[in-house]
Amino acid sequence: MRGLEQFGWFVFNIAIPLLAPLALLPLLKLPTFFREYARGAVRRAMEHGQLLWTAIPMNASAGYVLGQHLNSSPADRAGMWVMLCSHVTLIVLASVFVLLGTMEASLRSEPSSNGPNWILRASIALTTTTAAMHLGGYIWLLRPS
């Protein structure tokens, strides 16, 4: 039963917030008049750090849950403080990357294909780190066996 509980928590707190914004993008290919513009829609949707808009509230949620359990849980308090501070740091980093991505998007009239898009890569890395920390904090600090 414990595995099922953790899977359910993962689906509602990690998978749905990350995948729901991207899940409908393939439907852009359905209208015939929009098919040629729909190519690469998922990449364009994440290109300038929009994925970070998911990471920010996910970090805030994780910080709130950790803060709630900080004084009432017999679990590792030092670990909870480290995770809480890490989530706050990730919120600040994600906010800065959103700002930089917005600045870069507004300076370019067309997306550039010359060179790697570091904001896209940073947003994927930061969002993946957020998801892993949120899941790890839940499994190992809030619901230890």
Which whole number is the average pLDDT over 96-104?
88
Q: For position 82, what pLDDT does the model report?
A: 92
With cut-offs at 50, 70 and 90, classify the pLDDT of residue 49. confident
What residue segments make up the domains of the chain, in order of their start? 2-142
3-state secondary structure of 126: helix
Cβ–Cβ < 8 Å for 58, 130: yes
What pLDDT digit, counting tens, does each position of 20-48 carry?
877 877 777 777 777 777 777 777 777 87
With cut-offs at 50, 70 and 90, classify the pLDDT of residue 63. very high
Q: For position 132, what pLDDT does the model report?
A: 94
Chain-wide mean pLDDT for the chain?
83
With cut-offs at 50, 70 and 90, classify the pLDDT of residue 73. low
Q: In this model, does residue 74 exceed pLDDT 80?
A: no
With cut-offs at 50, 70 and 90, classify the pLDDT of residue 68. confident
**Secondary structure (DSSP) of 13-61:** IIIHHHHHHHHTGGGGGSSGGGHHHHTTHHHHHHTTSTTHHHHHHHHHH
Cβ–Cβ < 8 Å for 17, 54: yes
Work out the percent of the chain whose per-residue pLDDT is above 70: 90
What pLDDT digit, counting tens, does each position of 110-135 carry?
655 555 688 888 999 999 999 999 99
Q: For position 23, what pLDDT does the model report?
A: 80
